[in-house]
């Protein structure tokens, strides 16, 4: 496993080789050694106090019997983990989360890339593109609570979506998008895609702008068509961005809670129950902080696998 | 891409039309829900569910906006959001630039471990941290204060900011630093006098991103505040969802108003923003 | 001395400035709770009531309290109900509940077990408060942890216009009449349905308000000696009835993820003819749709039932934090709000019924429908068996999830009730 270099490291810079020999006295060496720690200390302090400490507390709860609710919780080893892993609802939530984050990420990517390429085309004027650019980032501007409520309104059985679909004749009668077990996950994913693609689009747009024109021209001279140019010139160039965005998106989407809670609450019939809603219900309505913590730690471990791939991908990129 | 694609006259028209149609379809997808939000903000509360749905109803009025803009408590939410988001943006940028410089220009023991930790922090599901976090904030005396909210938001914005800033600094040649040092400067002056000024597009990109995250954050802003004096806009919007009914028009009006500063920020910086967001990542 | 060394101190200076900035900003935050310099005591009172009362009225009552008790200052912490629960749970878990807290019957058992809220009886006794005036007290293991301040009953709301259009002459009084009326209203077509059933699992209180209420209205119970007993004939008949309404297609679409707000919204807009709803909503409905002609009626019972009808209710309960340093002062506030006159005043403002038996609400200023509802209330008895149960929210959610399976025909009513029974039994 090559972890010798991550994205945050220098571009193959080896400080020792560059240090001017004349300044190599003891004091300078000590400063040199301490300087990077001074630079990163605010970050390390903040992250230690505000995330490492609470995470350690959560891990602690996960090994206790009735953590928080009882005055003297007892150490129970992995009992809570066994309980969570044998809970069918948890396994359902795990499966749903997998479907939700995969679909969301793939479609974020496809739509984000499609929009980015439209906005990057040389066929249209800069003003036209600037206007559409603003329209396209609109979904990014709203807080998730409002996105949930607006889409509930639109997807209501008598809402505007069903009205349009029935007037045009696509549907015979309105569908309860969010209340029918068969369509709830699709509807929820649709909303999540809407709210999340702009970030992809913007990042990919920037990446596309970095594709050297020379390469395209060369390919064109060689007789390559649109698809071949996309496949062999554009795609390889933006691949690093795509991969890192995809991994980040998988992590971010797996943490989506407010949107699910405010639209379906995990229902109907558990069709949209996710790890985030499962954990929330355990803690805030069943008062099972111990099992909630165990579930949280499992989620954390799963997402850390993703984080690990992210770091490794960044390594490969450098 | 330059205009070299324009080679043949006729097919270009078709392509242009196709591209334009694609853009319009995309814009409908992106914009219609927002249009519906806007329309709802002008409706009377009873008209929201009118059948068939109408974009503009007889009860069209600006009352919802008036109600929000004349209510000191709501204006306070906006002020709180500005204070928090601006402070988060500035402090995140400052902290991220320092760390990014450390990561970009030095080798030191534990660097990889810290790198992995910083990346992994993003993988922590925030919902799981609510309970211990609450206790921690109370213990630190930061519950229901601006610093509590600011530091919390920084936990979410810092990792991405550091990753992007480091990538950006990595694209700048080390010779720049060395030149400063030869002229009698040190690492500190190299960072602030040379690297930072060149990195402005990247800084703007990270700054806008950070501002947006903080401005729209909901879960911790809800859990870590308990008085109207500390609440932010997303919570203010949620307050309009009562136990029994929604104030539809005000809720929509408030979110429209809330989106304006972010939109202005985007308009103001969009050239640099789009240039900066991946100029660090794509450095071939 | 190397130039580089200067980096350290200057870096620290900058960080110091940043830190100072943060500290300076914390000066903007609210004053710390606790005692003032003159022996004055500040107590915090967290509740969701203030936003639901006419603007300024609750603060007015509190001012009155502060005049009567010049050494006690009350700081109101107000939040809407939806966010109150999450904050209270987090605060209780950290032992940080404010001195006086508004409580929902669903939270009491768990807060009491965590030791977050205090036994009120000794506090009231110390002040010689006449406990016999209290209409009810919510007890856990024999100790009083919550006192209902104002009660809101859930009668049947009926849209008179729709009923008339459907050719039904009066509000239904039993289940057959209700089904018949619901069918006739649904037959009107358009988007109109007879009834609404909010079963969203995020906030599963549709189970107590809209499902179990059918059982209680016919004198039924879901408990036996304080233990779950959901497989009994009365619960079964209630659930089967709800299922028959659902199957007859007289329930507004989207029931499985419908929220309480949606139910009120649909009734207000004339899309639903009848709902079981809180009396507190009369003002809201009239505000949002002044032209709606509606009335309230007792909940329909089983056809043959002649006894007293249980009527579901929700309360604004009050409790005192066990960690409070000012319990005596906190109790003073509780006693003030429960006192005969103030309680009557508060109930009138809230459009609810007083928690003090001797207090009588002033109907002269309120909607005539309240008088009707008060008569219904007095003819029956308040029934909400979820109050004071452990993990009440969880119990309702379990019921909800199983009921959804029955409604969508993936299991029978008996299977549902058996499943609920075994899940509930594991909680008690």
Do B110 and B28 have their domain in common?
no
8 A C-beta contact, residue C90 and residue C133: no
Q: How many helices (H) and strands (E) does chain B have?
A: 13, 0
Read off the pLDDT of residues A52-110 as tens digits, 9 standing for 90 and up: 888 888 898 889 887 666 767 788 889 999 999 999 999 999 999 999 999 999 999 99
- What is C156-311+391-427's CATH number? 3.40.190.10
Bigger pLDDT: A277 vs A14: A277
Q: Which of A272-276, C9-13, C112-116, C253-257 has the lowest mean pLDDT?
A: C9-13
Task: For residue B220, give the CATH number of its domain.
Answer: 1.10.3720.10
Three-state secondary structure readout of chain C: CCHHHHHHHHHHHHHHHHHHHHHHHHCCCCCCCCECCCCCEEEEEEECCHHHCCCCHHHHHHHHHHHHCCCEEEEEEECCHHHHHHHHHHHHHCCCCCCEEEECCCCHHHHHHCCCECCCHHHHHHCCCCHHHECCCEEECCEEEEEEEEEEECCEEEEHHHHHHCCCCCCCCEHHHHHHHHHHHHCCCCCCEEECCCCCCCCCCHHHHHHHHHHHHCCCCCEECCEECCCCHHHHHHHHHHHHHHHCCCECCCHHHCCHHHHHHHHHCCCEEEEECCHHHHHHHHHHCCCCCEEEECCCECCCCCCCCEECEEEEEEEEECCCCCHHHHHHHHHHHHCHHHHHHHHHHHCCEECECCCCCCCCCCCHHHHHHHHHHHHCEECCCCCCCCCHHHHHHHHHHHHHHHHCCCCCHHHHHHHHHHHHHHHC
Question: What letter would DSSP give residue B45?
Answer: G
Is the CB of residue C17 less than 8 Å away from at least one CB of chain A? no
Describe the strand order of the beta sheet including C272-276 as a list of residue ranges.
Answer: C193-195, C272-276, C156-159, C294-297
Q: Is the pLDDT assigned to residue B137 strictly greater than 80?
A: yes
Residue A209 forms part of a structural domain? yes
| pLDDT given at position B111 | 82
Kindly determine whether residue B237 and residue A145, on different chains, have CB atoms separated by under 8 Å.
yes
| pLDDT given at position C217 | 94
Residue A135 forms part of a structural domain? yes
| pLDDT given at position A24 | 52
Please report which helix (H) or strand (E) contains residue A27, including its range.
helix A26-47
Kindly determine whether residue A150 and residue B252, on different chains, have CB atoms separated by under 8 Å.
yes
Q: Which residues contact A148 (CB under 8 A, 6 or more apart)?
A: A191, A258, A259, A261, A262, A263
| pLDDT given at position A290 | 87
Kindly determine whether residue B146 and residue C23, on different chains, have CB atoms separated by under 8 Å.
no
Q: Is the pLDDT assigned to residue B91 strictly greater than 90?
A: yes
| pLDDT given at position A315 | 57
Mean pLDDT score of chain B: 81
- In sequence order, the β-bridge partners of residue C144 are C139
Q: Which of residues 69-108 of A touch B (CB under 8 A)?
A: none
What's the rounded Cα separation, in Å, for the pair B74 and B79?
Answer: 9
| pLDDT given at position A316 | 52
Q: How many Cβ atoms are within 10 Å of C80's Cβ, its own excluded?
A: 18
Residues belonging to chain A: 318
Contacting chains of A (3 CB pairs or more, <8 Å) are: B, C
Question: What letter would DSSP give residue A65?
Answer: S
Is the CB of residue A230 less than 8 Å away from at least one CB of chain B? no
Is the CB of residue C59 less than 8 Å away from at least one CB of chain B? no
What's the rounded Cα separation, in Å, for the pair A237 and A216?
Answer: 11
Question: What letter would DSSP give residue A51?
Answer: I
Reported as half-sphere exposure (CB side, CA atoms, 13 A), residue A175 has a value of: 16
Degrees to nearest 5, angle at CA C75 with C69 and C80: 130
What's the rounded Cα separation, in Å, for the pair B264 and C307?
Answer: 66
8 A C-beta contact, residue C40 and residue C73: yes
Secondary structure of residue B232 in the 3-state scheme = coil
| pLDDT given at position A111 | 93
Read off the pLDDT of residues B216-230 as tens digits, 9 standing for 90 and up: 888 888 888 888 888
Backbone angles phi, psi at C41, to 5 degrees: -115, 135
8 A C-beta contact, residue C97 and residue C327: no
- In sequence order, the β-bridge partners of residue C402 are none
Q: How many helices (H) and strands (E) does chain A have?
A: 15, 0
Residues of B in contact with C25 (CB under 8 A): 83, 87, 145-147, 150
Do B164 and B248 have their domain in common?
yes
8 A C-beta contact, residue B215 and residue B85: yes
The ipTM is 0.80
Do B102 and B181 have their domain in common?
yes
- In sequence order, the β-bridge partners of residue B241 are B246
Residues of B in contact with A166 (CB under 8 A): none
Q: How many Cβ atoms are within 10 Å of B246's Cβ, its own excluded?
A: 21
Please report which helix (H) or strand (E) contains residue A266, including its range.
none
Domain count within chain B: 2
| pLDDT given at position C45 | 94
Secondary structure of residue A33 in the 3-state scheme = helix
Residue A64 forms part of a structural domain? no
Is the CB of residue B115 less than 8 Å away from at least one CB of chain C? no
Domain count within chain A: 1
Q: Who among C201, C255, C391 is closest to A286 (CB)?
A: C391
- The closest alpha carbon to C207, from C11, C402, C8, C34, belongs to C402
Residue A8 forms part of a structural domain? no
Residue A270 forms part of a structural domain? yes
What's the rounded Cα separation, in Å, for the pair A21 and A28?
Answer: 11
Mean pLDDT score of chain A: 81
CA A196 to chain centre: 9
Reported as half-sphere exposure (CB side, CA atoms, 13 A), residue C156 has a value of: 27
Please report which helix (H) or strand (E) contains residue A173, including its range.
none
Is the CB of residue C190 less than 8 Å away from at least one CB of chain B? yes
Residues of A in contact with C86 (CB under 8 A): 284
- The closest alpha carbon to C84, from C61, C62, C107, C112, belongs to C107
Topology match between the domains C41-152+315-375 and C156-311+391-427: yes
8 A C-beta contact, residue A183 and residue A165: no
Residue A250 forms part of a structural domain? yes
Mean pLDDT score of chain C: 86
Residues of A in contact with C255 (CB under 8 A): 179
| pLDDT given at position A69 | 67
Sign of the dihedral defined by the CA atoms of residues B89, B91, B93, B95, in that order: negative
Grade residue B272 by pLDDT with cuts at 50, 70 and 90.
low
- Helical segments of B122-145, H only: 126-139
Question: What letter would DSSP give residue A139?
Answer: G
Grade residue C277 by pLDDT with cuts at 50, 70 and 90.
very high
Q: Who among C79, C94, C289 is closest to B46 (CB)?
A: C289
Residues of B in contact with A45 (CB under 8 A): none
What's the rounded Cα separation, in Å, for the pair B130 and A289?
Answer: 11
- The closest alpha carbon to C311, from C396, C241, C370, C380, belongs to C380
Do B103 and B208 have their domain in common?
yes
Q: Which residues contact C169 (CB under 8 A, 6 or more apart)?
A: none
- The closest alpha carbon to C11, from A35, B92, A75, A196, belongs to A35
Residue A17 forms part of a structural domain? no
Task: For residue A256, give the CATH number of its domain.
Answer: 1.10.3720.10
Do B74 and B171 have their domain in common?
yes
8 A C-beta contact, residue C272 and residue C285: no
Q: Who among B101, B127, B233 is closest to A39 (CB)?
A: B101
Read off the pLDDT of residues A17-65 as tens digits, 9 standing for 90 and up: 444 444 556 767 777 778 888 899 999 999 888 888 888 888 988 898 8
CATH match for C41-152+315-375 among 3.40.190.10, 2.120.10.30, 3.10.105.10, 3.40.50.10610:
3.40.190.10
8 A C-beta contact, residue A137 and residue B242: no
Kindly determine whether residue C86 and residue A38, on different chains, have CB atoms separated by under 8 Å.
no
**B41 → chain A, closest CA residue:** A150
Q: Is the pLDDT assigned to residue A211 strictly greater than 90?
A: no
Exposed / middle / buried, residue C353 (Cβ in 10 Å: 0-12, 13-18, 19+): buried
Highest mean pLDDT among A120-134, A280-294, B19-33: B19-33
| pLDDT given at position C27 | 40
Please report which helix (H) or strand (E) contains residue B80, including its range.
helix B72-105
What's the rounded Cα separation, in Å, for the pair B65 and B251?
Answer: 10
Grade residue B275 by pLDDT with cuts at 50, 70 and 90.
low
Give me the domain span that covers residue A120. Answer: 79-317
Q: Domain segments of chain C: what residues?
A: 41-152+315-375, 156-311+391-427
Q: Is the pLDDT assigned to residue B281 strictly greater than 50?
A: no
What's the rounded Cα separation, in Å, for the pair B246 and A153?
Answer: 11
8 A C-beta contact, residue C219 and residue C309: yes
**Euclidean distance between the first and the last CA atom of chain B, given in angstroms as a whole number:** 16
**A55 → chain B, closest CA residue:** B129
8 A C-beta contact, residue C272 and residue C263: yes
Task: Please give the average per-residue pLDDT across B113-118, as a whole number.
Answer: 78
Residue A33 forms part of a structural domain? no
Residue B53 forms part of a structural domain? no
**C390 → chain A, closest CA residue:** A286
Grade residue C288 by pLDDT with cuts at 50, 70 and 90.
confident
| pLDDT given at position B244 | 62
| pLDDT given at position A289 | 84
What's the rounded Cα separation, in Å, for the pair C17 and C13?
Answer: 6
| pLDDT given at position B124 | 67
Q: Is the pLDDT assigned to residue B148 strictly greater than 50?
A: yes
Q: How many Cβ atoms are within 10 Å of C187's Cβ, its own excluded?
A: 12
Do B258 and B172 have their domain in common?
yes
Task: Please give the average per-residue pLDDT across B131-157, as a whole number.
Answer: 89
Do B80 and B30 have their domain in common?
no
What's the rounded Cα separation, in Å, for the pair A176 and A174?
Answer: 7
Residues of B in contact with C150 (CB under 8 A): none
Do B215 and B171 have their domain in common?
yes
Q: Which residues of A touch C (CB under 8 A)?
A: 23, 25, 27-28, 31-32, 34-35, 38-39, 42, 68-71, 156-158, 174, 176, 178-181, 184, 261-270, 281, 283-287, 289
Q: Which of residues 14-43 of A touch B (CB under 8 A)?
A: 14-16, 18, 33, 35-40, 42-43
Give me the domain span that covers residue B140. Answer: 63-277
């Amino acid at each position: 496993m090559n972890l010798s270099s991550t994205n945050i490291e220098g571009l193959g810079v080896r400080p020792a080789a560059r240090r001017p020999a004349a300044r190599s006295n003891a004091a300078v060496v000590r400063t040199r050694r301490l300087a990077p720690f001074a630079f990163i200390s605010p970050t390390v302090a903040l992250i230690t106090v505000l995330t490492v400490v609470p995470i350690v507390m959560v891990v602690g709860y996960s090994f206790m019997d009735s953590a928080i609710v009882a005055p003297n919780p007892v150490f129970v080893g992995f009992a809570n983990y066994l309980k969570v892993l044998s809970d069918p609802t948890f396994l359902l939530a795990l499966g749903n989360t997998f479907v939700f984050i995969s679909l969301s990420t793939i479609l974020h990517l496809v739509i984000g890339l499609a929009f980015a390429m439209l906005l990057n085309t040389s066929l249209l004027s800069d003003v036209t593109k600037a206007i559409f650019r603003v329209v396209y980032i609109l979904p990014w501007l709203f807080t998730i609570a409002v996105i949930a409520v607006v889409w509930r309104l639109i997807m209501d059985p008598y809402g505007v979506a069903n009205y349009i679909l029935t007037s045009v004749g696509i549907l015979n009668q309105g569908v309860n998008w969010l209340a029918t077990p068969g369509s709830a996950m699709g509807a929820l994913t649709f909303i999540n895609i809407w709210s999340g693609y702009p970030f992809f689009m913007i990042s990919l747009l920037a990446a596309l702008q970095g594709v050297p024109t020379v390469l395209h021209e060369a390919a064109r001279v060689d007789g390559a068509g649109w698809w071949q140019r996309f496949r062999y010139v554009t795609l390889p160039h933006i691949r690093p961005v795509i991969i890192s965005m995809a991994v980040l998106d998988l992590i971010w989407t797996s943490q989506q809670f407010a949107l699910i809670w405010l639209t379906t609450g995990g229902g109907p019939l558990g069709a949209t129950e996710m790890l985030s809603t499962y954990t929330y219900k355990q803690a805030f309505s069943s008062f099972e902080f111990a099992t909630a913590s165990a579930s949280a730690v499992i989620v954390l471990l799963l997402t850390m696998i993703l984080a690990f791939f992210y770091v490794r991908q960044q390594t490969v990129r450098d | 891409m330059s205009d070299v694609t324009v080679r043949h006259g006729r097919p270009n028209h078709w392509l242009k039309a196709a591209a334009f149609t694609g853009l319009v379809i995309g814009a409908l997808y992106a914009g219609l829900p927002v249009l519906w939000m806007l329309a709802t903000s002008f409706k009377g509360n009873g008209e929201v569910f009118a059948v068939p749905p109408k974009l503009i109803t007889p009860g069209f009025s600006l009352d919802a906006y008036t109600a929000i803009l004349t209510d000191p408590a709501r204006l306070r939410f906006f002020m709180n959001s500005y204070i928090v988001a601006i402070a988060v943006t500035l402090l995140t940028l400052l902290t991220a630039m320092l760390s990014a410089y450390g990561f970009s220009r030095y080798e030191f023991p534990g660097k990889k471990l810290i790198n992995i930790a910083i990346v992994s922090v993003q993988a922590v599901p925030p919902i799981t941290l609510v309970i211990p976090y609450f206790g921690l904030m109370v213990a630190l005396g930061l519950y229901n204060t601006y610093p509590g909210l600011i530091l919390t938001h920084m936990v979410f914005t810092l990792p991405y900011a550091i990753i992007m800033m480091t990538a950006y600094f990595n694209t700048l040649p080390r010779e720049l630093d060395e030149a400063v040092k030869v002229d009698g400067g040190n690492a500190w002056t190299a960072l602030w006098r040379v690297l930072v000024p060149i990195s402005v597009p990247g800084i703007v990109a990270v700054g806008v991103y950070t501002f947006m995250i903080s401005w729209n954050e909901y879960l911790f802003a809800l859990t870590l505040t308990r008085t109207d004096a500390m609440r932010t806009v997303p919570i203010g919007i949620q307050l309009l969802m009562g136990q029994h009914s929604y104030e539809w028009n005000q809720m929509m009006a408030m979110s429209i108003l809330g989106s304006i500063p972010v939109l202005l920020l985007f308009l103001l910086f969009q050239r640099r923003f789009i240039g900066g967001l991946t100029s660090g990542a794509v450095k071939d | 001395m190397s130039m580089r060394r200067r980096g350290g101190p200057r870096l620290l200076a900058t960080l110091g400035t940043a830190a100072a900035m943060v500290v300076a900003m914390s000066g903007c935050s609210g004053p710390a709770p606790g005692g003032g310099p003159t022996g004055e005591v500040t107590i915090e009172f967290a509740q969701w009531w203030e936003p639901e009362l006419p603007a300024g009225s609750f603060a007015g009552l509190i001012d009155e309290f502060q005049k009567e008790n010049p050494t006690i200052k009350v700081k109101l912490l107000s939040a809407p109900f939806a966010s109150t629960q999450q904050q209270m749970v987090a605060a209780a878990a950290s032992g940080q509940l404010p001195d006086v807290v508004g409580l929902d019957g669903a939270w009491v058992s768990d807060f009491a077990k965590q030791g977050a809220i205090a036994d009120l009886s000794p506090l009231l006794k110390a002040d010689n408060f006449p406990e016999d005036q209290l209409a009810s007290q919510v007890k856990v293991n024999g100790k009083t942890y919550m006192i209902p301040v104002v009660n809101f009953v859930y009668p049947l709301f009926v849209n008179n216009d729709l009923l008339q259009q459907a050719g039904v002459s009066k509000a239904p009084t039993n289940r057959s009449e209700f089904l018949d009326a619901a069918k006739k209203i649904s037959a009107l077509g358009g988007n109109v349905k007879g009834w609404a059933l909010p079963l969203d699992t995020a906030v599963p209180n549709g189970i107590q308000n809209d499902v179990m209420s059918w059982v209680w209205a016919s004198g039924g119970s879901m408990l036996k000696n304080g233990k779950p007993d959901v497989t009994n004939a009365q619960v079964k008949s209630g659930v089967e009835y709800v299922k028959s309404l659902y199957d007859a297609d007289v329930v507004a679409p989207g029931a499985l993820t419908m929220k309480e707000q949606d139910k009120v919204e649909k009734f207000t807009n004339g899309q639903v003819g009848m709902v079981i709803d809180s009396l507190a909503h009369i003002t809201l409905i009239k505000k949002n749709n002044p032209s709606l002609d509606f009335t309230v009626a007792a909940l329909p019972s089983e056809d043959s039932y002649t006894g007293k009808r249980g009527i579901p209710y929700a309360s604004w309960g009050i409790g005192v934090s066990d960690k409070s340093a000012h319990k005596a002062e906190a109790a003073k506030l509780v006693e003030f709000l429960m006192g005969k006159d103030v309680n009557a005043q508060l109930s009138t403002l809230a459009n609810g019924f007083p928690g003090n038996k001797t207090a009588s609400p002033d109907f002269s200023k309120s909607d005539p429908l309240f008088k009707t509802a008060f008569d219904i209330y007095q003819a029956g008895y308040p029934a909400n068996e979820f109050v004071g149960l452990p993990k009440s929210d969880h119990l309702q959610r379990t019921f909800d999830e199983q009921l959804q399976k029955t409604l969508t025909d993936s299991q029978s009513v008996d299977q549902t009730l058996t499943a609920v029974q075994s899940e509930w039994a594991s909680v008690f």
